[in-house]
């Protein structure tokens, strides 16, 4: 029977700390063993204290793909609606042992589990002695940000960095650029009228702070294009709702002319690589257009 190494968590960011968990799990499972990642989805706080639930950094499908890419063999969804949050630490672990027979469970030092988060890595180690599995604790991964600040890799720090427009620092913690994915929907079409058509993205992921960013857009067929990305309320036009819209550089002038794509309803993935400027209100559409030309030139350079 193949050796199974198990790791459990929210994995919302799938950052470099999570990569260390998967790497250690692979080491313990061996080349012929199996690495299983159990992913809470949605976040348990959406059920326990919805008002305190953090904004989502990724969808389950995104997390699953990234965990597979890091080396996990099996990714399974843990639904907090299915009674798992009411289990004692002992019951929670007994269920895992019965289903997966793990040789090792690999976690970070701040791991908690069971009802009211009553279990921790010491509890897990004690239960490992009962059920004959190793509890392997991976130390935190530290990252030097662009301002020389040292932080521990965590989903919380990624959220803070993204929310404060520090997308380059977020990429250091993630090990890749922050990415937003969603469906292209109809907007107010103002961009098209002023010569800068945009793809308006409907997404449930955390948007970065209002502003203009450079990035890379990936189309459904895998083609990539540099993009000028705006996040905000469109203050020059007295907009109210925050949105993300991306102008695809080097694409035809009308979105419906992009080969093989309808005007709306297709999925777009946008890597947000560099902050360009704040979201500003301009005195006239002409002033806005002049600034947009400068923005496009800056975004067309290497992200």
Note the pLDDT of residue 92: 97
CATH architecture of 177-299: Beta Barrel (2.40)
Q: Quick one: which of 96, 87, 80, 84 has its CA closest to 6?
A: 96
Q: Residue ranges of the domains in the chain?
A: 4-139, 177-299
What is the structure's pLDDT at 255?
45
Confidence of residue 256 (pLDDT cuts 50, 70, 90): very low
More confident residue, 270 or 191: 270
Q: Over the stretch 70-109, which tens digit does the pLDDT of each residue have?
A: 999 999 999 988 789 999 999 999 999 999 999 999 999 9
- Summarised one tens digit per residue, pLDDT across range 115-173 is 999 999 999 999 999 999 999 999 999 999 999 999 999 999 999 999 999 999 999 99
Q: Report the alpha-carbon distance of residue 19 to residue 14 in Å, rounded.
A: 7
Specify the pLDDT at position 126.
99
Q: What's the whole-model pTM score?
A: 0.92
What is the reported pLDDT for 198?
A: 85
Fold of the domain spanning 4-139: Rossmann fold (3.40.50)
């Amino acid at each position: 029977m193949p050796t199974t190494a198990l790791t459990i968590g929210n994995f919302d960011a799938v950052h470099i700390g999570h990569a260390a968990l998967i790497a250690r799990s692979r080491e313990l499972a061996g080349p012929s063993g199996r690495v299983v990642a159990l992913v809470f989805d949605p976040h348990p706080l959406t059920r326990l204290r919805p008002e305190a639930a953090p904004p989502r950094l990724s969808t389950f499908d995104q997390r699953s793909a990234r965990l597979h890419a890091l080396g996990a063999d099996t990714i399974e969804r843990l639904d907090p609606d299915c009674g798992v949050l009411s289990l004692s630490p002992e019951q929670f672990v007994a269920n895992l042992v019965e289903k997966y027979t793990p040789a090792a469970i690999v976690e970070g030092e701040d791991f908690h589990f069971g009802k009211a988060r009553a279990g921790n890595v010491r509890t897990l180690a004690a239960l490992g002695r009962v059920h004959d599995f190793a509890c392997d604790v991976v130390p935190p991964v530290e990252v030097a940000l662009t301002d020389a600040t040292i932080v521990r890799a965590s989903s919380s720090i990624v959220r803070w960095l993204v929310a404060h427009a520090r997308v380059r620092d977020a990429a250091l913690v993630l090990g890749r650029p922050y990415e937003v994915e969603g469906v292209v929907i109809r907007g107010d079409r103002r961009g098209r009228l002023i010569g800068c058509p945009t793809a308006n993205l409907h997404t449930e992921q955390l948007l970065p702070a209002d502003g203009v960013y450079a990035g890379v857009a990936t189309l459904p067929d895998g083609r990539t294009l540099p993009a000028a990305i705006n996040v905000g309320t469109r203050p020059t036009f007295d907009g109210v709702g925050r949105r993300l819209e991306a102008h695809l550089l080097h694409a035809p002038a009308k979105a419906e002319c992009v080969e093989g794509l309808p005007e709306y309803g297709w999925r777009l993935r946008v890597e947000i690589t560099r902050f360009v400027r704040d979201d500003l209100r301009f005195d006239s559409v002409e002033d806005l257009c002049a600034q947009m030309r400068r923005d496009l030139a800056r975004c067309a350079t290497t992200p």
